[in-house]
Amino acid sequence: MLKVYGDEPVDYTVYDGGSLAAFKAPGDGLVIASGPNPDNETYTVTVQPGAGTWTALGIEVVQDDTLPGLRVARGADRMVLTEVETEVGGRKVPYSIGYSNLNMTAPEHPAAAAFDGNPKTGWAIATYNENPKVMLALRFAEPLKTEAGATMTIRLHQDSDYRRATMGRFRIALSSGNYSWPTSDKGKEIPDAVLKGLKETEGKRTPQQKTAINNHFQWASPESVPEEIEVADLEKQLALLEVAIPHVMVSEATTPVETHILARGNWMDESGDIVQPAVPAFLGKVETGGQIATRLDLANWLVDAKNPLTARVFANRMWRLFFGIGITKSLDDMGSQGEWPTNPELLDWLASEFMKPEWKAEGTHPWDVKHLIRTIVTSQAYKQSSMPIPELEEKDPDNRLVARQTRFRVEAEVVRDIALYVSGLLNQEFGGPSVKPYQPDGYLATMNFPKREYASSRGNEMYRRGVYTFWQRSFLHPSLAAFDAPTREECTINRVNSNTPLQALTLLNDPIYVEASRVFAQNILKHGRAWNDRVNWAFERALDREPTIEERRILTDLYRKSLEQFQHSSADAVALIHEGEAPVPTDLKPAELAAMTTVARAVLNLHETITRN
């Protein structure tokens, strides 16, 4: 819902760089969006401008700290205006060129993208902006004449791939000037930066002043409009191309900063002796040939044949990944304070095999991680059954002697991956930016200054592996937190596995698991007509085995009762099967799909499904 405030007082909360200031002031034409906040939205504003000749349309985006998206958007981490349409008397009014007074404009979101006819592009506020009154100005291709009583309809389309990237507060303005710069401040038709630059001699102008003068000249010069349009289109294409290319951060070598012994801990006192790069003396010496040690020297020292510590630590951590516990529990302390290995000879052999492979060494190389993994997983110890033996359980409850394989729940990121893989939704694309799975609204509400909002990803990006999940400081995704992922507030070498009711509730009710269950159910229904065939396929897919007689009976009763319930309440069935964005097949009956979804939820909720056996 849009509400226009004229002379009525409006509450403003403004961040001035150091603190928040709250005050009331007349709205002066301010439009405030409220009510439901869908992923995409089109604002339609109707105005009666009166008789006049207009050269440009202005959209002022008003900042307010109550808005979670960069103080301008109702959600997401940016505001994106994909298309602006103006209509008078049933006729669309074309634009010729656009400009904004943003301090920092994202190259892939130029002003011209707001009227290029492409819903996948748009003008955006994508970073925090020091200008509290951002103005987007779109010049009409021809001066627009209106008569008294004429109605102008302005549609602001916000259809980007970013969810809820919609404006929270804005004003609409019309300009009759030919050369005025886009601004909502009277008397600032020529920007201060331009005036200041013009007062300087040409040789003394800064690059910023030259850019400001050039931009203003181009805006105020009708003769340059065709060239400006062509340049703006080429710049947009170039920016979109550059954004699509992965960038690698590269550090450049510089002169090292001198480090001194701090006199009495005073970091401002540099009178102490200079400290040269080195390792603790009791651990040996870095061979540098008389030169100052570099990071390359440190790397060579770490993998030196005379330094077995690195290989031992790594081999122990790899053993922990495949057996649930290291040969020594102390993954982060292999020194005298750590636990003595249960099998020191095995640890030594694995470390030496890692440093210099000798067992089935054909095609390997020193420090070969793949060879170390292959050595472990092809061993007889790894191939053992994880079924407990009472006599061994009593003597070795933690299985430190590896008399059997160990059972343990997979790590937090893998829990979600299993559900997506079983359902067939998992996107195994490698690399790329973080993705945002479904997350409860308001989860980031306590992260103020500024407020933050979360907008989940779209399409196939939603189903990427858990390792790519977006992380906001110590606020990890709730599903990861439920399954014991650390908050990264401190370095964590070894995760602790817990078994709580919250984990079962997460597997049942988290939207991504409900969606995965529904897609899993679709596949179950397509694999055979007989009930037993479908249940067998579901267990083979999720657990790699057939169901027992008791399991088959329980799932049969669950499906029968669920089917009866959904046949009596078709609305509940439709609501369940439309959870998530994956398409719902039209050839399946909603009640049957919803009932099978309930069965699939039960299978994915089994402890065995998320346990490494």
pLDDT in tens, 202-240: 888 888 888 888 877 777 777 777 787 788 778 878 887
Nearest Cα neighbor of 81 from 14, 6, 157, 19 is 157
Query: In this predicted structure, what is the pLDDT of residue 230?
Result: 81
What DSSP state is assigned to residue 292?
P
Query: In this predicted structure, what is the pLDDT of residue 102?
Result: 80
What whole-number distance in Å separates Cα of residue 547 and Cα of residue 8?
68
Query: The tokens of 329 are what?
Result: 């529990």
Residue with tokens 């200079």: 274
Query: In this predicted structure, what is the pLDDT of residue 130?
Result: 64
What whole-number distance in Å separates Cα of residue 563 and Cα of residue 81?
45
C-beta of residue 463 within 8 angstroms of C-beta of residue 421: no
Q: How many CB atoms lie within 10 A of CB 522?
A: 22
Query: In this predicted structure, what is the pLDDT of residue 506?
Result: 92
Query: In this predicted structure, what is the pLDDT of residue 181?
Result: 67
pLDDT block averages, 10 residues each, the chain of length 613: 88 74 87 89 92 91 85 86 92 87 79 88 82 84 90 94 90 82 69 83 85 78 76 80 80 81 85 86 82 88 87 94 90 83 93 93 93 94 87 84 88 93 93 86 72 80 91 84 86 85 92 94 91 93 93 94 93 92 91 94 93 86
Query: In this predicted structure, what is the pLDDT of residue 17?
Result: 64
Digit-coded pLDDT (tens) for 335-368: 778 889 999 999 999 999 999 999 998 999 999 9
Is the peptide bond preceding residue 308 cis, with omega within 30 degrees of 0? no
- Strand pairing class (95-100; 133-146): antiparallel
Collect all residues with Cβ–Cβ distance below 8 Å to 491 and sequence separation of at least 6: 332
What whole-number distance in Å separates Cα of residue 369 and Cα of residue 319?
12
Nearest Cα neighbor of 287 from 276, 295, 275, 298 is 298
pTM of the model: 0.79
Query: The tokens of 384 are what?
Result: 């053992």
Kindly report the backbone phi and psi dihedral angles of residue 186, in degrees, each rounded to the nearest multiple of 5, phi listed first: -65, 140
Query: The tokens of 571 are what?
Result: 């609305």
Residue type for position 604: L
Query: In this predicted structure, what is the pLDDT of residue 13?
Result: 81
Give long-range contacts, CB 8 A cutoff, 24+ apart: 582-588: 582/425, 582/515, 582/518, 582/519, 584/518, 585/522, 588/522, 588/525
Nearest Cα neighbor of 351 from 303, 389, 388, 400 is 303
Facing residues of 259 across strands?
275
Measured distance between the N- and C-terminal CA atoms of the chain, rounded to whole angstroms: 54
